[in-house]
């Protein structure tokens, strides 16, 4: 038990409820936490909770749905419908956003969420997560899809929940990023990681290298330098991780630094990236920036992108500031035609370019 330690509710009352729309936003984040607890309980049961495997349904992303994808989606939707704090919801699992209609009450926010990210990991009992982004709803009328297409800089709150050995919820409302661990016996989220801070430097990178042949040159150059370690331009060894669960990947970076890349590639020319702007890149960008990290496509700050579609995909490069800056710089050089071979001494640790 953690009596005397700060609960999520207490934290929200103290830090959020005083701001504009703050009381409603604090209440909405309590609702998000309720959905997260339900999903934590469901996912924690594993095969005992019901059928595993895949359903016959394909979601709008072209991915085969899992039973837990659908249950998690329902947990969020039911919570938001009953909560009376959002005017509409957009889910990665649904074709289109939908407005909250009577008899349910509408509130001042729009909720955008990926109910179960990394769900290909469920059957092998590897960590999965939920990601959410909160925007202001239009003041009048039912929200339409265009109302959700706001740049990430306009998010009023964002966060993720990681269903790992412990369930952890990490949130930002634009004043730092804060982590809460679920005390399962009591059912409270307890503030365990206030003011999280991503180290500026790192020697750990995360990328799915099976896509290497589809990458652009700046990414190949960066990863080759990491792999060359002490004997290459970087003159130090790097470690690599790939969980294939973005939430787990981002949380590791929040805890000890690192760079995560799902860059633009030529695997499927109709998709400029794998990850979704509204459901994954923007909320994670907000969380990471509020912890001192950076989030970029390689050519643009993620949160500055003006969305044009609700399910839009973008390249994502995020994490420790100096490594993201380095890779952005490699993109600039490549686009300007001034990129140097990665063996160049100009780019080693003591060279002219030192991030």
Compute the 3-state secondary structure of the chain and give helix, strand, coil in percent, each to the nearest 5.
Answer: 35, 20, 40
Min separation Cβ 170 and ligand F6P, Å: 15
Give how far Cα 139 sits from Cα of 87, 203, 268, Å. Answer: 10, 46, 39
Of the pair 202, 245, the CB lying nearest ligand F6P is at 245
Of the pair 145, 208, the CB lying nearest ligand F6P is at 208
For 118-183, strand residue ranges (E) read: 128-136, 157-163, 167-172, 177-183
Min separation Cβ 298 and ligand F6P, Å: 16
Triad 51, 243, 245: Cα angle to 5°: 60
Min separation Cβ 244 and ligand F6P, Å: 4
Min separation Cβ 212 and ligand F6P, Å: 12
Min separation Cβ 324 and ligand F6P, Å: 17
Find how far residue 282's CA is from the centre of its chain.
7
DSSP state of 45: T
Triad 98, 108, 191: Cα angle to 5°: 100
Say how far apart CA 24 and CA 82 lie, in whole Å. Answer: 14
Of the pair 118, 152, the CB lying nearest ligand F6P is at 118
Of the pair 63, 235, the CB lying nearest ligand F6P is at 63
Those residues whose C-beta lies under 8 Å from the C-beta of residue 279, and which sit 6 or more positions away, are 90, 91, 92, 112, 113, 114, 117, 131, 133
Of the pair 234, 251, the CB lying nearest ligand F6P is at 251
Report yes or no: 96 and 145 within 8 Å, Cβ to Cβ.
yes
Residue nearest to ligand F6P (CB): 246
Min separation Cβ 117 and ligand F6P, Å: 5
Contacting residues toward ligand F6P, per CB under 6 A: 117-118, 208, 244-246, 249, 262, 274-275
Phi, psi of 157 (to 5 degrees): -160, 155
Min separation Cβ 90 and ligand F6P, Å: 16
Of the pair 106, 313, the CB lying nearest ligand F6P is at 313
Min separation Cβ 97 and ligand F6P, Å: 19
DSSP state of 281: I
Of the pair 16, 317, the CB lying nearest ligand F6P is at 317
Closest among 183, 60, 175, 179 to 114, alpha carbons compared: 60
Which residue in the block uniquely carries the two structure tokens 């969980």?
A: 243
Of the pair 210, 231, the CB lying nearest ligand F6P is at 210
- Which residue(s) pair with 161 in the sheet? 130, 169
């Amino acid at each position: 038990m953690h009596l005397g330690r700060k609960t999520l509710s207490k934290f929200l009352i103290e830090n959020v409820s005083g701001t504009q729309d703050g009381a409603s936003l604090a209440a909405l984040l309590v609702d998000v936490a309720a959905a997260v607890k339900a999903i934590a309980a469901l996912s924690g049961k594993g095969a005992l909770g019901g059928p595993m495997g895949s359903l016959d349904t394909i979601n709008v992303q072209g991915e085969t749905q899992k039973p837990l994808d659908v249950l998690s989606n329902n947990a969020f939707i039911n919570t938001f419908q009953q909560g009376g704090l959002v005017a509409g919801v957009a889910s990665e699992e649904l074709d289109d956003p939908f407005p909250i209609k009577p008899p349910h009450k509408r509130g001042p926010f729009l909720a955008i969420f990926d109910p179960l990210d990394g769900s290909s990991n469920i059957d092998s009992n590897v960590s999965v997560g939920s990601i959410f982004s909160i925007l202001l709803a239009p003041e009048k009328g039912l929200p339409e899809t265009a109302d959700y297409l706001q740049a990430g800089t306009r998010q009023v709150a964002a966060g993720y929940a990681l269903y790992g050995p412990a369930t952890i919820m990490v949130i930002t409302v634009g004043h730092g990023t804060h982590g809460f661990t679920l005390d399962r016996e009591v059912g409270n989220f307890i503030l365990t990681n206030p003011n999280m801070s991503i180290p500026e430097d790192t020697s750990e990178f995360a990328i799915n290298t099976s896509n290497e042949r589809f990458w652009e040159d700046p990414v190949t150059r960066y990863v080759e330098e990491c792999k060359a370690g002490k004997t290459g331009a970087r003159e130090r060894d790097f470690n690599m991780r790939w969980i294939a669960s973005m939430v787990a990947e981002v949380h590791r970076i929040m805890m000890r630094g690192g760079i995560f890349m799902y860059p633009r590639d030529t695997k499927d020319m109709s998709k400029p990236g794998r990850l979704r702007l509204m459901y994954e890149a923007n909320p994670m960008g907000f969380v990471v920036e509020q912890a001192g990290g950076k989030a970029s496509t390689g050519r643009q700050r993620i949160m500055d992108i003006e969305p044009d579609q609700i399910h839009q995909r973008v390249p994502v490069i995020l994490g420790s500031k100096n490594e993201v800056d380095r890779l952005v710089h490699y993109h600039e050089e490549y686009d300007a035609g001034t990129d140097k071979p990665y063996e160049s001494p100009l780019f080693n640790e003591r060279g002219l370019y030192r991030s």
